């Protein structure tokens, strides 16, 4: 099937390559010529494991093209909207400028029977408004939220854990005739994952839009729950990692997303819970989501606490001290630094008078551009040279594996802060380090 993918960022680039791999003929469209040029030459514009291989495989089939020309969407049966919905400057709500622009650019190129498939994360009500504007074109809107994780994006797209179709529905909540036709087309698009047994949830627009923000809110809540427990552990001498292990054995709770530490960042969880609260306020049900305010507050407190811990371990002040920060990306296997806890803590410590040197295996170019005032080093050893404190802020595998004895030979003082609770305290203490972490004695 011929499909267009509008917006070629973390979501769209991966979606375009994956759709080509699933056998479709794909054109990726983005307003950023630098990005489409890179993608057209088979180069991923950002770090995502598996994406270069997916682009190469798709290019080899001759079924994947990229352009800045919105007219290239004409002739596609399905048009995926994959643009970003960042937090609006100075507000909690989502900025829908890119959705609006992409939709307006697509409208003149739609033909009757086309599907416009929204994948962007939007405030509930957006799909209904967009669908209204399609009535004169004869195209149908479907809301089909995306649940991919950065770092696993290709795998999550080709083998999703569920598919959700938000369809136009009648007064009884059943799909309309257009909705049923749209579902049949999407079944063709996703023939492979469906044949693999991927569960499918068919629902109305509102439910589909809410599914996405509800899922991210739940994940954020789970992380903040364990980080709240970490605060309790800090004041009682308990160990949050053991606590997480113990409660995680209960299947109803589960151990995943119970890793305490510097908390969540990135381009999704933080802005999604805020946009969700803003939307609930507009709908007059802000009380229903007031707990998310606390989820956000707990998350932000962890960053402050980490700076305090650095001060504590250095005898009361970090002024003039050298601090090595291992990690700049918001999580491993990504070069994404949007709302990165690592960089937020690094910048705070620098502002408070420390000399901070940051390292990261993939995110240094992005970090340098966003935070030019920090110092940067290519390796953990270089960053840690003469350091008074080493902070592990993003749990890249190479930092988890660091040899405390070897690293001990380059630092000025053997003090390590484990911002992700991934180092073995016994091994580090045995090598003469002062080891401190969030939520551990
Ligand atoms: C998140 C969701 O997990 C995806 O399902 C969703 O599709 C995506 O947002 C999106 O909305 O597009 P992502 O932002 O890639 O994916 O990152 P996560 O793996 O969810 O991690 C988010 C943050 O939580 C990271 O900073 C990570 O370090 C932190 N985290 C995660 C913890 O602090 N503790 C944990 O136990 C797990």
Q: What is the CATH number of the domain that holds 18?
A: 3.40.50.720
What is the total residue count of the chain? 441
Is 204 a member of any domain? Answer: no
Q: Between these two residues, 83 and 59, which has the higher pLDDT value?
A: 83
Percent of the chain's residues with pLDDT above 70 = 100
Q: Is 184 left (phi over 0), alpha (psi -120 to 50) or beta?
A: alpha
Give the residue whose CA is nearest to atom 2 of ligand 1. Answer: 149
Tell me: do 110 and 219 sit in the same domain: no
The C-alpha atoms of residue 86 and residue 94 are separated, in whole angstroms, by 6
**Residue pLDDT, tens place only, 157-190:** 999 999 999 999 999 999 999 999 999 999 999 9
Regarding the beta carbon of 118 and ligand 1, being less than 6 Å apart is answered: no
82 catalytic? Reply is no
Mean pLDDT of the chain: 97
The C-alpha atoms of residue 402 and residue 385 are separated, in whole angstroms, by 14
- Asked whether the beta carbons of 413 and 391 are under 8 A apart, the reply is no
The C-alpha atoms of residue 407 and residue 385 are separated, in whole angstroms, by 9
CATH of the domain at 224: 1.10.1040.10
| pLDDT at site 197 | 98
Q: Of the candidates 154, 169, 198, which is a domain's last residue?
A: 198
| pLDDT at site 276 | 98
174 lies in which domain range?
2-198
The C-alpha atoms of residue 358 and residue 212 are separated, in whole angstroms, by 33
| pLDDT at site 219 | 98
CA 144 / ligand 1 centre spacing (Å):
19
Domain count, the chain: 3
Regarding the beta carbon of 376 and ligand 1, being less than 6 Å apart is answered: no
| pLDDT at site 297 | 98
Is 310 a member of any domain? Answer: yes
Is 205 a member of any domain? Answer: no
CA 124 / ligand 1 centre spacing (Å):
21
Tell me: do 77 and 191 sit in the same domain: yes
Closest ligand 1 atom to 262 CA = 33
**Residue pLDDT, tens place only, 298-319:** 999 999 999 999 999 999 999 9
The residue from 8, 203, 233, 268 that is catalytic is 268
Give the residue whose CA is nearest to atom 35 of ligand 1. Answer: 257
Half-sphere exposure of 22 (CA within 13 A, CB side): 27
Is 413 a member of any domain? Answer: yes
Confirm whether pTM is higher than 0.85.
yes
């Amino acid at each position: 099937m011929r499909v267009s993918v509008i917006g070629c960022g973390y979501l769209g680039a991966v979606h375009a390559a994956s759709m080509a791999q699933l056998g479709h003929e794909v054109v990726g469209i983005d307003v950023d010529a630098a990005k489409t040029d890179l993608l057209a030459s088979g180069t991923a514009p950002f770090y995502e494991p598996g994406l270069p291989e997916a682009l190469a495989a798709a290019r080899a089939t001759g079924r994947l093209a990229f352009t800045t020309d919105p007219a290239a969407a004409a002739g596609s049966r399905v048009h995926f909207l994959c643009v970003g919905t960042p937090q609006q400057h100075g507000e909690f709500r989502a900025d829908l400028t890119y959705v609006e622009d992409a939709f307006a650019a697509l409208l003149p190129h739609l033909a009757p029977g086309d599907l416009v498939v929204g994948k962007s994360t939007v405030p509930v009500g957006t799909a209904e408004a967009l669908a209204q504007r399609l009535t004169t074109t004869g195209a149908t809107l479907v809301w089909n939220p995306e649940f991919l994780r950065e770092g696993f994006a290709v795998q999550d797209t080709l083998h999703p854990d569920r598919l959700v179709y938000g369809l136009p529905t009648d007064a009884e909540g059943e799909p309309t005739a257009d909705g049923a036709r749209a579902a049949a087309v999407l079944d063709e698009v996703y023939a492979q994952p469906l044949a693999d047994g991927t569960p499918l949830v068919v629902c109305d627009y509102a439910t589909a839009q809410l599914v996405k923000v509800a899922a991210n809110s739940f994940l954020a809540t789970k992380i903040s729950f364990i980080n709240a427990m970490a605060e309790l552990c800090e004041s009682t001498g308990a160990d949050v990692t053991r606590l997480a292990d113990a409660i995680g054995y209960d299947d109803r709770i589960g151990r995943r997303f119970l890793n305490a530490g510097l908390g969540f960042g990135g381009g999704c969880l933080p802005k999604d819970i805020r946009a969700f609260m803003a939307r609930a306020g507009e709908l007059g049900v802000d009380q229903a989501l007031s707990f998310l305010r606390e989820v956000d507050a707990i998350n932000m407190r962890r960053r402050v606490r980490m700076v305090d811990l650095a001060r504590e371990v250095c005898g009361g002040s970090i002024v003039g001290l050298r601090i090595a920060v291992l990690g700049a990306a918001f999580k491993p296997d990504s070069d994404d630094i949007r709302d990165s806890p690592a960089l937020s803590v690094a910048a705070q410590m620098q502002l408070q008078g420390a000399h901070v040197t940051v390292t990261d295996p993939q995110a240094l170019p992005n970090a340098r551009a966003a935070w030019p005032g920090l110092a940067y080093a290519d390796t953990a050893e270089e960053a840690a040279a003469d350091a008074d404190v080493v902070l592990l802020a993003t749990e890249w595998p190479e930092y988890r594996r660091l040899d405390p004895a070897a690293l001990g030979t380059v630092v000025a003082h053997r003090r390590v802060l484990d911002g992700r609770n991934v180092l073995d305290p016994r091994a580090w203490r045995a090598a003469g380090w002062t080891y401190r972490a969030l939520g551990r004695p």
